[in-house]
Amino acid sequence: MNNLLKNITKNIPAVSLGVLLLAAGPLSSQTSDPNSAATTTNQKPAKVKAVHATQPRDGQQVFAQNCERCHNAPQGFSPSISGTVVKHMRVRANLSKEDEQALMRFFNP
Amino acid sequence: MSYLTPLRNIRLSHRSAIALLSMGALCLASALVAQDVPLISGAGSFTTNTTGGNTSYQPALTPVLVAPVGQHLLFESRAYIVDSINPQPHTGYDTQFHVGVAYAQADYFLNSHVTLVGGFSLIPFGTYNERLSPIWINPLQDAPLIYGIGNPGSGSGTGGQIRGNIVSNENYSITYATYFSAGSTDFQINSSRSTGGQVELYLPKARLEIGTSYGRLLEHDKMNAIGTHVWWEPANIPLKLRSEYAHGPHSQGYWVETDYRLSQFHGENSAIGRLEPIFRIQQTFRNSPDNNDELPAQNTQRVDFGLDYHLPHEVRMNTSYARQFSSSGNVNIWETALIYRFLFPTWKGKK
């Protein structure tokens, strides 16, 4: 078991590179398209009514306070990765589940 | 010190190649059934650095892969592919090619307040390592001089983290991150045996963040490092004020940085609104010699003047001039960077 773990940890960089290479395989012609993005800096989506009963967070506010604290907003990205972006930000910005959901509603009103 | 500090060379052995393909395929298969499409992000960049008259060039690719599996599991990794080119008198150019990994980790969302992290992860000490080290985020190229305090070795740890959000509401939020890293001398996942964590209080109405970090090196020398940071972003003007102080066993120091995007002049997409001046001042103080903390050997003061220009299509141009003062000699540092940030799905999704 220890050897297995040792081998796995030893090959983490190689594994990550493999994931990158393999993940790039099925790349379609789809690329980041600001026009079809979920949101842009200048095109804030309309706020949506929250579905939570207890004081739902404003997704735009969550975005401004947590994401933009460190970096500018991307000029746009595909709606298909909005959930992935939000999960990534949940880890990086230590967001709660509620903030994650608010951010998701902001990206996909 | 540049953002390239954590780089480690990679040599793929036969065994590594097999593991690479098998585990890559496993992760890909898992990602295929995920609800959300994995993404590839990161940046391509070309940077120049002239320190004391010596110039170097660094084309680099910094890809980030993020692959969710279901609603609770996330795989993510950031790599570096860099070529350092140093002109040599009479002999042309000396080049060094590096491939490295900043982090490769799995995240498990246990509940609303707890996320478990395992793998090779950035150490949560201070603010630079986790937040500002990506070149497409940091408005200045160089890491702060005190970066080495609390971030031993590569700045990444091999082990686990428990992190999350204690409370978050309209008035305040408190976040935390704790970690334990096993020592590893493997050049691919070099890390020190250490533990520590940080806690942050954020006041949304004041847009003020105060945090503190602690790290303890558990190698043959047991050493503590502490740090604190204050970030403030006024609500009505695009100004950012960041500051950090760190104290190690043999040195201490601080940095204060402010940048102001001129977007109030005809909008952020105007010719002037795309400009972002940056100023940073930092000081380090040496208490006793230490070859491992990566801080200057003598007391050092440094000022950075930067001017970034945000071009359309996620392209940014950074320029900066710094003057560094120390008893070992004063030096000018000129830097430029052309950065293209990308973000796209790995394949076409259903959404």
In a domain, A12, yes or no: no
The CATH class of the B101-340 domain is mainly beta
- Of B74, B76, B158, which has the smallest distance from its Cβ to A9's Cβ? B158
In a domain, A1, yes or no: no
How do residues B56-114 score in pLDDT, each as one tens digit? Answer: 999 999 999 999 999 999 999 999 999 999 998 888 899 999 999 999 999 999 999 99
Interface touch B111/A75, C-beta < 8 Å: no
Angle at the Cα of A76 from the Cα atoms of A72 and A79, rounded to 5 degrees: 125
Closest Cα in chain B, distance from residue A43 (Å): 13
In a domain, A55, yes or no: yes
C-alpha B241/C-alpha B271 separation (Å) is: 24
Q: List all residues of chain A from 38 to 97 with a beta carbon under 8 Å from chain B.
A: 41-42, 55, 57, 61, 65, 69-72, 74-75, 77-85, 87-88, 90-97
Residue among A16, A39, A67 with most chain B CBs within 10 A, to mutate: A16
In a domain, A79, yes or no: yes
Structural domains of chain A, count = 1
- Of B65, B113, B164, which has the smallest distance from its Cβ to A19's Cβ? B65
B144: closest CA among B213, B244, B50, B46?
A: B244
How do residues B292-349 score in pLDDT, each as one tens digit? Answer: 788 999 999 999 999 999 999 999 999 999 999 999 999 999 999 999 999 999 987 6
Q: Report the pLDDT value the prediction gives residue B175, as an integer from 0 to 100.
A: 96
Average pLDDT over residues B231-250: 94
Tens-digit pLDDT string for chain A (109 aa): 445 445 444 554 443 444 333 333 333 333 333 333 333 334 444 333 333 334 557 888 889 888 988 988 887 888 889 999 999 999 999 999 999 999 999 988 7
In a domain, A24, yes or no: no
Count Cβ atoms within 10 A of the Cβ of residue B266 and give its class: 0-12 exposed, 13-18 middle, 19 or more buried: exposed
**Amino acid in the structure at residue B117:** V
- The encoded tokens of residue B260 equal 């102001």
* Least confident piece of the model among A7-16, A90-99, B25-34, B229-238: A7-16
In a domain, A8, yes or no: no
Q: Report the pLDDT value the prediction gives residue B242, as an integer from 0 to 100.
A: 97
In a domain, A52, yes or no: yes
Angle at the Cα of B73 from the Cα atoms of B203 and B71, rounded to 5 degrees: 80
Question: What ipTM does this complex have?
Answer: 0.86
Q: Report the pLDDT value the prediction gives residue A39, as an integer from 0 to 100.
A: 38
C-alpha B289/C-alpha B266 separation (Å) is: 51
Strand residues in B123-273 grouped as ranges (E): 156-168, 173-182, 194-203, 208-218, 222-232, 239-247, 251-260
A3 Cβ under 8 Å from any chain B Cβ: no
User: Domain limits at A56?
Assistant: 32-107
Residues, chain A, total? 109
Count Cβ atoms within 10 A of the Cβ of residue A29 and give its class: 0-12 exposed, 13-18 middle, 19 or more buried: exposed
In a domain, A43, yes or no: yes
